[in-house]
Amino acid sequence: MVEGRVFSAATGAPLKKAAVWLEAFSPTRGVNGTPTVSGPAATTDANGHFLLDGVEPGSYLLSAQRTGYLDQGYGARTPQIVGPPLKLSAGDRLTDVTFKLTPQSLVYGKVTDEDGDPVPNAQVEVLHSSYAGGRRQLANTATVNSQDDGSFVVGNLSPGRYYVSATLRTADQQGPPVRKTARESYVTTYFSNTADPAAAVPVEIAAGAEVRGIEVRLRKSRVFHIRGRVVNTANGTPAGRIFLHLVPRGETVVPQTDVGISSGNDGRFELEGVLPGAYTLETAESLMIAMVDSQSEIPRAAPSLVGRVLVNVTDSDVEDLTMPVGEGATVTGTVTGASYPKDRPVVTLRRPEAGSTLSGSAQVTSDGAFQLRHLVPGVYALDMTLPKGSYVKSVRFAGREVTNENIDLSSGAGGTMEIVVSKTGGTVWGTVRDGTGDPARGATVQLWPADGEGAKAVKSDEGGEFQFNGLPPGDYRVAAWEDLDDDLAGYPPFRALFADQAAKVKSSDGGHEKVEVKLIPRESVAVQAQKLK
């Protein structure tokens, strides 16, 4: 049984209609997992009281939420983060549990034009720093539209540092349409008054705060269009109804959103309002088509067409661009070294750069074969789902050893891949301890190769213990953080800031190595994270 009350952290008043629930603890929850309500749930009464009865013995996460407030994990030091796990045994009675929910933060502002007049129906985004593909991005937290008087309000924000942008869609802008000549147009503008996301001024938001006076004055800039035709390279004919994405490339800071357009029946397409810069124009349907199991019996009227082309927009429109598309490369392969009567592994080739949607996946057949089709020319990283305790021992592609390398399909040609799996992966386990030497529950623990960047992450359990399975032989580093954001956990430059605090361990084939890891407190995380802004 679990019993307690929920209060407002701002007023101290009890909160009615707050939801409180238990979910089974998973070491990947809050690292790369997703929330799963798997245990009892309750709603508070007028006194903020709740009761969760009939709880089966086990390890759980306890959380609470209410409209107008931020979700809170029991035992977590900040909102919007799962708390440390609880161990409940038969007959346990956990009473006097107290939640203090933090009111949501709000941002009030206005979108104006160059004369200070209000701009209605502008798309306003509140963004936060994220890290993907080895570089910083601005990821969307919330989106609203400005009202008739240009005003906007964005709620349900947790404490932190944010960036605010406003975009006026081309259809809502005044003036002649973009056709053969370049003109000025309103472009995405970041607070305060810059079209460059790298120069955006951050807005610091405290817990439960109401931040006012955020004015985004839309800027005009010379913009251009990209016009062209999608052509099937197999026969030189136009390819219609192909969805395209225009993705910025080579930038330090990249907005996570991009521009999309579908070609017409005659293959022609036009992208309007494009700022000068370097871009990649690529097909977006390749992701959906390639994700279909290559052995699928789903019929198709015609082969999928995929492609990409580099585009540079300088001081003029891009006219008559040819976007070549074709069936793409095919990679066939085999997986040996293990049998999979159930839960057959999935082989994935994905583009490592940020912003790209291009990838392909296929499930391995019962005899160990797989086939990946419709792959756009480029360089891919190999991912593979494996049973517990297994690891990829070796990879050969086109007759060459590429175990620790990316797969190069830049020529557009496919090839044969041979993957050898070992079922005797090493295990590294241990305990995370805080500054007083006590076990640290719910810490984010990461393990990565001493000479590599790819990391695995888990949460420590109710005893502060963690375990990594299926490790190839080699030297590794292990570190543990308190309250670490998931995107920072996957960013190698962040880990490098703590290299001297990571424990060292060597894994062997079939070995079981134990290591003690000291918890890196959230204050240190916050200080170092600011260096990445």
Residues spanned by CATH 2.60.40.1120 within the chain? 2-101, 105-217, 329-422, 426-530
Superfamily of domain 329-422: Carboxypeptidase-like, regulatory domain (2.60.40.1120)
Note the pLDDT tens digit of each residue in 396-405.
999 999 998 8
DSSP-assigned letter for residue 501: G
**Residues 319, 226: Cα–Cα separation, whole Å:** 6
Residues spanned by CATH 2.60.40.180 within the chain? 224-325
**Residues 275, 223: Cα–Cα separation, whole Å:** 5
What pLDDT, on a 0 to 100 scale, did the predictor assign at position 175?
52
DSSP-assigned letter for residue 520: E
Q: What are the CB-based long-range contacts (under 8 Å, 24+) for 393-397?
A: 393/337, 393/420, 393/421, 393/422, 393/472, 394/418, 394/419, 394/420, 395/419, 395/420, 397/331
pLDDT grade for 491, boundaries at 50, 70 and 90: confident
What pLDDT, on a 0 to 100 scale, did the predictor assign at position 465?
97
Share of the chain above pLDDT 90, in %: 57
Calculate mean pLDDT across residues 257-278. 84
Note the pLDDT tens digit of each residue in 446-489.
999 998 777 889 999 999 999 999 999 999 999 999 877 767 77
Note the pLDDT tens digit of each residue in 269-284.
999 888 898 998 988 7
More confident residue, 496 or 205: 205
- DSSP, collapsed to helix, strand or coil, labels residue 224 as strand
Share of the chain above pLDDT 70, in %: 86
* Main-chain dihedrals φ then ψ at residue 40, nearest 5 degrees: -60, 150
Q: Does the pLDDT of residue 218 top 80, yes or no? A: yes
Calculate mean pLDDT across residues 18-39. 75
pLDDT grade for 391, boundaries at 50, 70 and 90: very high
Find out if CATH 1.10.10.60 is the number for domain 426-530: no
Note the pLDDT tens digit of each residue in 176-193.
444 444 478 899 999 989
What pLDDT, on a 0 to 100 scale, did the predictor assign at position 478?
96
User: What is the Cα 62 distance to its own chain's centre?
Assistant: 24
Note the pLDDT tens digit of each residue in 39-52.
679 999 999 999 99
Ranges 87-96, 350-359, 381-390, 484-493, most confident: 87-96
What pLDDT, on a 0 to 100 scale, did the predictor assign at position 494?
85
98-102, 166-170, 337-341, 394-398: least confident range: 337-341
Calculate mean pLDDT across residues 131-150. 85
Q: What's the mean per-residue pLDDT of the chain?
A: 86
Note the pLDDT tens digit of each residue in 90-112.
999 999 999 999 999 999 999 99
What pLDDT, on a 0 to 100 scale, did the predictor assign at position 160?
87
Contacts of 139 (CB under 8 A, 6+ apart): 127, 128, 129, 130, 256, 487
Calculate mean pLDDT across residues 429-437. 95
Domain 105-217 classification at class level? mainly beta
Using left for φ > 0, alpha for ψ between -120 and 50, and beta otherwise, residue 431 falls in beta
Note the pLDDT tens digit of each residue in 51-68.
999 899 999 999 999 999
Closest to 304 (Cα-Cα) out of 244, 231, 351, 373: 373
pLDDT grade for 251, boundaries at 50, 70 and 90: low
pLDDT grade for 33, boundaries at 50, 70 and 90: low
Calculate mean pLDDT across residues 251-259. 60
What pLDDT, on a 0 to 100 scale, did the predictor assign at position 255?
61
Q: Quick one: tokens of 303?
A: 């082969």
What pLDDT, on a 0 to 100 scale, did the predictor assign at position 294?
40
Q: Quick one: tokens of 116?
A: 């200070």
Q: Could you tell me the fold of the domain covering 224-325? A: Immunoglobulin-like (2.60.40)
Q: Does the pLDDT of residue 432 top 60, yes or no? A: yes
Calculate mean pLDDT across residues 418-437. 95
What pLDDT, on a 0 to 100 scale, did the predictor assign at position 359?
75
**Residues 7, 14: Cα–Cα separation, whole Å:** 4
Q: Report the alpha-carbon angle 191-194-196, nearest 5.
A: 110
Question: What pairing do the DSSP bridges indicate for beta strands 189-190 and 160-167?
Answer: antiparallel
pTM for the model stands at 0.79
104-113, 165-174, 427-436: least confident range: 165-174
Q: Does the pLDDT of residue 293 top 50, yes or no? A: no
Domain 2-101 classification at class level? mainly beta
